[in-house]
Structure 1
Amino acid sequence: MTETPAILVTTRQGGIAILEINRPGSKNSMSNDLLAAMAAELRALRHDDDIRAVIITGAGGTFCAGADITGFDTLRDAALLGAREEFGGTFWSDLATFPKPVIAAIEGLALGGGCELALACDIAIAGESAKFAVPEVKLGVIPGAGGTQRLVGAVGKSKAMAMLLSGDFRTADQACAAGLIAETVPDGEARAHAVALAQRIAKNSPLAVALAKDAALRALETSLSQGLEHEKRNFHIAVRSADCHEGQSAFLAKRAPAFTGK
């Protein structure tokens, strides 16, 4: 009997976990089963102190071509009954509240839910031939996993509206210039660049990294004054930590710090 390939392949590289979407036959489109598997991995990795960063990527030269539209019937039926069923269950909230850095390593297509996944990650790196779009309006629907909200925050209202209302594609260079992604790299190198960045992040205090991520995300949800108060709170938590003492001691002794996350 032939074993069915896993739809999600998780590997570890030092303190980095790499989650690879493995549905190349459907261009790594999202199904409820895939997102449930990703949610379970995130819940496990959240409490794994050995993991300092997570990379999400796709197999076969494609990141994610969006939601598997064969699952739309279930959502439509639920909506007609007045329910607000979440596609992917808890995955999107698990990702939004994940305390460790998450990097998207993108090759090929990042469309619809794939573009929303890139936006939901903390950092996105893409191969130069990658393509981005939120084409849901072409199917008579709209983004439903944070795309309308996060895209405006990433690229501004005018650029976001142009993408959302037309469904047009953007190249990796256009996406980088707009602020949708952080960096464009040669094709085939997105994963390697993401790993290198994750390794640099992993050398830092995990507590400070988590507090910095938390404070930065707060900027998207609150006023400047509220964000500054939250930043001050996180700063005082960090400055009282053992990692802060270790970082200062290591700097003065000209040695590499041994951070513990405490």
Structure 2
Amino acid sequence: MGSVSLQLDEQVATVTIHNPAKKNALSFEATKQLRDHLHEVQYDDDVRCVVVTGEGDSFCAGAEVGGLAQVDFADHAAGIEQRFHEVVYTLMRMKKPAVAKVRGPAVGAGASLATACDFVYSSPDARFGWVFSNIGVSVDSGASFILPRLVGTRTAMELLASGELIGAEEACALGITNDVVDDLDGFVADRAHELSNGPTRALGEMKRMLLRGTHRSLEEVLDAEATSQTTLRETHDRKEGMAAFLEKREPAFEGR
């Protein structure tokens, strides 16, 4: 059936999907575990960066289609709403950086899971595909929200309608990923460590501004940015950042 594990290493939490025999496809139960782990780290102040990945040579092949075929539609809809959608919502609203470490296929809900993270890094063998049309269904897991913001509406529709997989380099060129790296484990470990030592409250505010900025007027954006800056004004990290700048030294951020 597969499972999802949570590992803590200093200030970095790594959430790993374990179902390599099925390319880390998610059963309903595994999706519940994924949701619960993300909820746990979301509110843990000791966790300042979250990495999402899959065991072995796959990231996530989306939902276990065979399992879905055996589920009553009402239960299916409830499961998607309560589990898959909560996973995407939690990642995108989490007030700390989330990193997707992608090897091999990231397909369907798996592609949405990766792109719901703030940073996506892949190995050269990674492949991305929103393959919903291949099985005669519409999009889910936030794809209709996330994908057009990354690649534009026309390219998003092309990817969705074709259901084709695209390679790592093309995904990077389209803006679906941040980078393609050979030493994925080492690179992501260093990047997560760097992010976890950054001003994570400020990063969380940046996420919130970007998420909402695309559907606000200019006046609303400017007002929201002013409020955000005011919110951070009395934080430790803002004061430390300013002091470090004036003293010409590296800041020691604490995420508070």
Paired residues of 1:148 and 1:164 also in contact (CA < 8 A): no
Tell me whether 1:47 sits opposite 2:43 in the alignment: yes
State the partner residue of 1:102. 98
1:20 Cα deviation (Å)?
1.1
**Cα deviations across residues 51-85 of structure 1 (Å, max 9, x unaligned)?**
11000011111001111012323665217xxx942
Gaps of 5+ in 1: none
* Paired residue secondary structure (2:78): coil
Q: What does 1:184-203 correspond to in 2, within 5 Å?
A: 184-186=180-182, 189-203=183-197
State the partner residue of 1:257. 251
> Percent of aligned pairs with the same residue?
30
Paired residues of 1:128 and 1:185 also in contact (CA < 8 A): yes
Gaps of 5+ in 2: none
Deviates more, 1:59-68 or 1:237-246: 237-246
CA distance in 1 between counterparts of 2:221 and 2:69 reads 41
Q: What does 1:171-190 correspond to in 2, within 5 Å?
A: 171-186=167-182, 189-190=183-184
State the partner residue of 1:145. 141
CA distance in 1 between counterparts of 2:21 and 2:215 reads 38
CA distance in 2 between counterparts of 1:122 and 1:225 reads 25
Q: What does 1:164-243 correspond to in 2, within 5 Å?
A: 164-186=160-182, 189-243=183-237
Tell me whether 1:58 sits opposite 2:51 in the alignment: no
Paired residues of 1:57 and 1:191 also in contact (CA < 8 A): no
Q: Counterpart of 2:78 in structure 1: which amino acid?
A: E
State the partner residue of 2:26. 30
Cα 1:226/1:71, change in 2 over 3 Å: farther
Cα 1:169/1:224, change in 2 over 3 Å: farther
* Paired residue secondary structure (2:59): coil
Q: Counterpart of 1:175 in structure 2: which amino acid?
A: A
Q: Counterpart of 2:56 in structure 1: which amino acid?
A: G
Tell me whether 1:118 sits opposite 2:111 in the alignment: no
CA distance in 1 between counterparts of 2:91 and 2:71 reads 21
Q: Counterpart of 1:62 in structure 2: which amino acid?
A: S
State the partner residue of 1:246. 240
Q: Counterpart of 1:85 in structure 2: which amino acid?
A: A
Cα 1:122/1:220, change in 2 over 3 Å: farther
1:42 Cα deviation (Å)?
1.4
1:254 Cα deviation (Å)?
3.9
CA distance in 2 between counterparts of 1:223 and 1:21 reads 39
* Paired residue secondary structure (1:116): helix
CA distance in 1 between counterparts of 2:71 and 2:97 reads 31
Corresponding pairs, count:
253
Paired residues of 1:30 and 1:67 also in contact (CA < 8 A): yes
CA distance in 1 between counterparts of 2:26 and 2:239 reads 44
Q: Counterpart of 2:242 in structure 1: which amino acid?
A: Q
Q: With the length of structure 1 as denominator, give the TM-score of the two structures.
A: 0.89
1:192 Cα deviation (Å)?
2.4
Tell me whether 1:161 sits opposite 2:157 in the alignment: yes
State the partner residue of 2:65. 69
Cα 1:156/1:76, change in 2 over 3 Å: farther
CA distance in 2 between counterparts of 1:154 and 1:13 reads 31
1:91 Cα deviation (Å)?
2.5
Q: With the length of structure 2 as denominator, give the TM-score of the two structures.
A: 0.90
